[in-house]
Structure 1
Amino acid sequence: MRRRTAGLAAGALAGALTLTGCSDSGSNAPDRADLSVASPYMPQPVSADMAAGFLTITNEGGAGDELTAVSSDVAGQVTMHSTSGGAMAEESSFGIPAHGRLVFRSGGNHLMFEKLKRAPKQGQTVTVKLTFAKSGPLTVEMPVKAATYTPSTGH
């Protein structure tokens, strides 16, 4: 497998993030997913034991994939949730279509960091590992923003 590391500068507000992933395919392979992450952030938690996280996963490849797990050393567990009609439901996975996106945003799909081992503070970063059904894992540095932060991208 080939290791790839890409640094993305996300238009001032999202800050810098680091992606690390394993892939044995070239980018834009017609039969494989080509995943990247943008705009990750965690609002500073207002609770001592729980926090939310948001990001966008883009698939520029010709095959779909599935986000099957999320973990972080800052939390005892990270769960994925969908929101529909104001009702939140825990999900075991989320599909990412070929040439599509999976968006985790405030008021919609989101990550819940539960059983916090420490309280992330504004200005810090939280390391998050995203695990997929087919692609190698991606490690994302998620900046902690103000509790009231709203990204300009709407995520």
Structure 2
Amino acid sequence: MNARTIRTIAAALSLTAALAISGCSSGQDDGSGSPAGAGASAAPEAAQAAQGGMTVSGAFMPEPVNDKMAGAFMVIKNGSKTADKLVSAGSPLSDDLQIHETKDQKMQQVQSMDVPAGGELRLERGGNHIMFMGLKNQPKVGDKITIELRFEKAGPVKVELDVKERTYTAQNSTSH
């Protein structure tokens, strides 16, 4: 094995361990007594932005367990009549943000994700998400992290992620 392969395997193992520890799962109970997805969160939607028909809500990052990686979760709604794609993201917190999809309980980096016309893209625990790799510092609960989402057609969208407890699960409605 060459050094690059070893680093890639080590990074994958670290990512898997960190996500398991940080609770990157589709937990059904946030401790409030309401099952996940039962209704809108009582917390104000601090992380909202709109550009080119794109609206982002419910954006958060669970407090990272280390300075190696963290996940970002949110709902991106496309209010336009044109389908689009999330093609990249950037943030001062990390020089390496990756778009990850989860299929058959396995994560993999992808080049883009579809945001259907009049529809939404859900980035959520246990599913598709954005990964911050190699954090420049370790955010704490209550911090706000700036992220810029870039789309194939719509302009860039700046969003503030609220850093939440490691066990936090968003309570977004699943009805349209």
| TM-score computed with the length of structure 2 as normaliser | 0.72
Q: 2:138 aligns with which of 116, 119, 129?
A: 119
Note if 1:55 corresponds to 2:74.
yes
The structure with the greater share of residues assigned to strand is 1
- Letter paired with 1:81: H
- Letter paired with 2:103: S
Gaps of 5+ in 1: 1-9, 24-33
Q: How does 1:9-24 map to 2 (within 5 A)?
A: 11-13=41-43, 15-19=45-49, 21=51, 23=52
Note if 1:40 corresponds to 2:70.
no
Aligned residue for 1:146? 165
Point out 4+ residue stretches in structure 1 off by more than 3 angstroms.
Answer: none
| TM-score computed with the length of structure 1 as normaliser | 0.81
Note if 1:81 corresponds to 2:111.
no
Residue 49 of structure 1, CA deviation: 1.3
- Indicate the structure (1 or 2) with the bigger Cα radius of gyration: 2
Aligned residue for 1:133? 152
Q: Contact (CA 8 Å) 1:15, 1:143: kept in 2 or not?
A: no
Identical positions, percent: 36
User: How many pairs were matched up?
Assistant: 135
The structure with the greater share of residues assigned to helix is 2
Q: CA RMSD in A?
A: 1.8
Residue 48 of structure 1, CA deviation: 2.0
The superposition leaves residues 65-118 of structure 1 with CA deviations (integer Å, 9 ceiling, x where unpaired) of 111110110112110100011111101101111111101000000110011001
Aligned residue for 1:7? none
Gaps of 5+ in 2: 1-39
